[in-house]
């Protein structure tokens, strides 16, 4: 056996066999490679963009998908190259079609004719419509629940106020709302401006596919504390001086705006401003402070001017006694009138306040009768005219007028009773 293996012929035959085996192996690999190179394969290219050819200056097209899936089948090398390069184009050409609905086929260009191409979808329903542009007003929108307590929105505006909206006629005609919405943090209490996107919606609040110019606007939300105009109510305080008549009180304005809690402000009927006339002797313009009602935060004006119209009381003239006989040389009985006599209010504490409602001047006419020689010596200060308010309640009270004076004369007053508004502390 060892001798056979060492034989030259044995070595030659073995080498030949190995060479043939190597040849056959290489031949088989080449055939397999050629089979793989020249065989077919199928692959899917997903989300291929779709180009649309149409008159985009005057028309609008709807119904064209943004992308499609493309299946390609053919030689493996071509399939792999097409998938890698993607230098083909999927398109739909609508330039020869009129305005209407159409069922059209998608097409592919720049693909080897050795490849079989299938598109999903391959046919689409498109709608070709006239493109129109309309100018429309933009409405600002804001959630008022973001406002601080007792604040209200006083105005909303956009800049610009109108925008140009372009789209298919049917879409433009379906527009119900053009809005720009702004927001913010809770507790807003001052006017602000914010940029916002313009939204175009139909009646169902669905967003419409349109072009908006400009697409952004500035929205200004004006706000202030809740307020309401309330009338001024002038109240005469203190009796006028003797011999002085208060004719009228005229304020420089009749209303003031009150700010604050809505419930407090809405409950106000008027703001009472006291006018002290006890020291006036002639007409005068007074500057008075306007009080801030309890529960309110402020008033629009802190003070007002009040013109007080004052005139002196009429001259006191003796009135002949009606019982005097004609031609009599001496008048034994005389009647005198004291005009503008102040009615004093008794029975109130120092801190209590009051004002006269009827008569609002708090004065009466006092007529005194007696012997002329005695009557002529009297003055209004010899009589005390007053009402007793010790049992009066807060608000208006009808009180009887009491007169005290010399015992040898009689008297009457023009108002046996007066109405006094009492404000107890």
CB burial class (10 A; 0-12, 13-18, 19+) of residue 173?
exposed
Q: How high is the pLDDT of residue 366?
A: 87
CA distance 424 to 419: 16
CA distance 348 to 311: 29
Residue 400 has pLDDT above 60, yes or no: yes
Evaluated on CA atoms 75, 81, 86, 88, the torsion sign reads negative
**Closest Cα to residue 147, out of 218, 225, 257?**
225
Q: What band does 367 get if pLDDT is binned at 50, 70 and 90?
A: confident
More confident residue, 287 or 361: 287
pLDDT in tens, 144-162: 899 988 899 989 999 999 9
Residue 192 has pLDDT above 90, yes or no: yes
The C-alpha angle 300, 306, 307, rounded to 5 degrees, equals: 155
Q: Which residue has the tokens 């809505």?
A: 262
Residue 286 has pLDDT above 90, yes or no: yes
Q: How high is the pLDDT of residue 25?
A: 63
Do residues 396 and 418 make contact, with C-beta atoms less than 8 angstroms apart? no
Q: Pull the structure tokens for residue 118.
A: 């299938």
Do residues 309 and 246 make contact, with C-beta atoms less than 8 angstroms apart? yes
More confident residue, 39 or 126: 126
Q: What percent of the chain lies above the pLDDT cut of 70?
A: 89
Global pTM exceeds 0.75: no
- Please give, one letter per residue, the 3-state secondary structure of 169-205: HHHHHCCCEEEEEECCCCCECCCEEEEEEEEEECCCC
DSSP letter for 147, please: B
CA distance 223 to 144: 10
Beta pairing partners, 364: 341
* CA separation, residue 305 to residues 232, 286, 292 (Å): 12, 6, 17
Q: How high is the pLDDT of residue 165?
A: 96
pLDDT in tens, 15-58: 788 878 877 766 545 444 444 455 789 999 999 999 999 998 89
Q: Which of 19-28, 89-98, 196-205, 367-376 has the lowest mean pLDDT?
A: 19-28
Do residues 290 and 302 make contact, with C-beta atoms less than 8 angstroms apart? yes
Question: Which one of 173-187, 326-340, 350-364 scores highest in mean pLDDT?
Answer: 173-187
CB burial class (10 A; 0-12, 13-18, 19+) of residue 179?
middle
Residue 123 has pLDDT above 70, yes or no: yes
DSSP letter for 380, please: G
């Amino acid at each position: 056996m060892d001798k056979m293996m060492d034989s030259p012929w044995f070595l030659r035959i073995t080498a030949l066999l190995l060479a043939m085996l190597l040849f056959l192996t290489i031949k088989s690999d080449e055939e397999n490679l050629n089979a793989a190179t020249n065989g077919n394969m199928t692959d899917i290219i997903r989300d291929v963009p779709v180009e649309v050819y149409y008159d985009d200056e005057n028309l609008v097209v709807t119904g064209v998908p943004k992308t499609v899936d493309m299946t390609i089948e053919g030689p493996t090398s071509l399939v792999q190259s097409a998938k890698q390069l993607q230098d083909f184009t999927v398109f739909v050409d609508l330039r020869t079609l009129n305005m209407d609905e159409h069922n059209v086929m998608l097409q592919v260009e720049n693909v080897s004719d050795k490849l079989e191409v299938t598109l999903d979808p391959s046919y689409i329903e498109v709608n070709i419509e006239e493109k129109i542009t309309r100018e429309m007003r933009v409405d600002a929108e804001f959630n008022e629940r973001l406002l601080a307590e007792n604040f209200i929105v006083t105005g909303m505006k956009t800049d610009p106020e109108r925008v140009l909206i372009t789209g298919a006629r049917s879409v433009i005609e379906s527009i119900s709302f053009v809005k720009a919405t702004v927001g913010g943090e809770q507790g807003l209490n001052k006017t602000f401006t914010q940029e916002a996107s313009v939204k175009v919606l139909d009646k169902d609040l669905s967003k419409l596919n349109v072009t908006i110019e400009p697409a952004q606007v500035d929205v200004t939300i004006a706000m202030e504390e809740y307020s309401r105009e309330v009338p001024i109510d002038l109240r005469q305080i203190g009796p006028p001086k003797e011999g002085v008549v208060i004719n009228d009180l005229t304020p420089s304005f009749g209303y003031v705006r009150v700010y604050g809690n809505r419930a407090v402000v809405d409950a106000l009927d008027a703001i009472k401003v006291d006018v002290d006339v006890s020291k006036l002797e002639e007409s005068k313009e007074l500057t008075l402070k306007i009080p801030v009602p309890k529960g309110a935060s402020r008033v629009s004006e802190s003070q007002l001017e009040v013109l007080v119209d004052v005139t002196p009381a009429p001259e006191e003239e003796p009135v002949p006694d009606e019982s005097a006989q004609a031609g009599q040389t001496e008048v034994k009985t005389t009647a005198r009138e004291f005009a503008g006599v102040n009615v004093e209010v008794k029975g109130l504490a120092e801190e209590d306040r009051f004002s006269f409602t009827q008569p609002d001047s708090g004065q009466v006419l006092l007529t005194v009768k007696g012997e002329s020689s005695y009557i002529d010596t009297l003055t209004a200060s010899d009589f005390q005219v007053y009402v007793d308010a010790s049992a009066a309640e807060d608000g208006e009270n009808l009180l009887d007028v009491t007169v005290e004076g010399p015992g040898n004369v009689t008297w009457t007053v023009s108002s046996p009773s007066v109405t006094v508004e009492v404000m107890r502390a």
